[in-house]
Each structure stands twice: as C-alpha cells, then as structure tokens.
C-alpha cells in the first residue's frame, strides 16, 4: 500500500496496544459507541414495524428505547 492510499506498508504485524494506553481506551470507546448505535437502530426499526402494525404502545416503547440511548 502507498501512503496516499492511507495504508501502512511496513510488512509487520501490529502489536496489541497496552490496555491502559490512550489509543486502546479510545478504540474501546469507539466500539462501545458503535454497539450503542446498533442497539438504538434496532429499537427504532422495531418501533417502526410496530407502528406499521398499528401497535402504538410497542411503537412508543421502541422509540423511547432508541431515544434513551442518546
């Protein structure tokens, strides 16, 4: 890979980050937030499906779960 393509061409495997390093903490936080977004998306999808089935209580519950994740 070339630097212009954003890759690293060292040919060496990357070493695991020490768990208390700033990059490792940031990486865990990114993963945590991505998982939270996935859960919120699923809740919103369930709410939309409930709304389409005229299940207003289910829709409110699902949308509330999605918003509570913010």
1 confidence band (pLDDT: 50, 70, 90)? very low
Q: Could you give the number of structural domains in the chain?
A: 1
What mean pLDDT do residues 38-48 have?
Answer: 96
Query: Is residue 9 pLDDT above 60, yes or no?
Result: no
Q: Is residue 28 part of a domain?
A: yes
Q: Is residue 2 part of a domain?
A: no
What mean pLDDT do residues 39-57 have?
Answer: 97
Mean pLDDT for all residues in the chain = 86
Local structure of residue 13 (DSSP, 8 states): P
Q: Is residue 55 part of a domain?
A: yes
**52, 44 Cβ separation under 8 angstroms:** no
Q: Is residue 35 part of a domain?
A: yes
Rounded Cα–Cα distance for residues 20 and 24 (Å): 7
By residue range, what is the domain housing residue 37? 18-68
Q: Is residue 12 part of a domain?
A: no
Percent of the chain with pLDDT over 90: 70
16 confidence band (pLDDT: 50, 70, 90)? confident
> What pTM was computed for the model?
0.67
């Amino acid at each position: 890979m070339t630097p212009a393509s954003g890759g690293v061409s060292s040919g060496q495997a990357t070493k695991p980050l020490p768990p208390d390093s700033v990059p490792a903490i940031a990486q865990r936080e990114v993963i945590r937030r991505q998982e939270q977004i996935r859960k919120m998306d699923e809740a919103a999808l369930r709410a939309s499906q409930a709304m389409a089935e005229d299940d207003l209580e289910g829709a409110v519950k699902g949308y509330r779960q999605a918003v509570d994740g913010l």
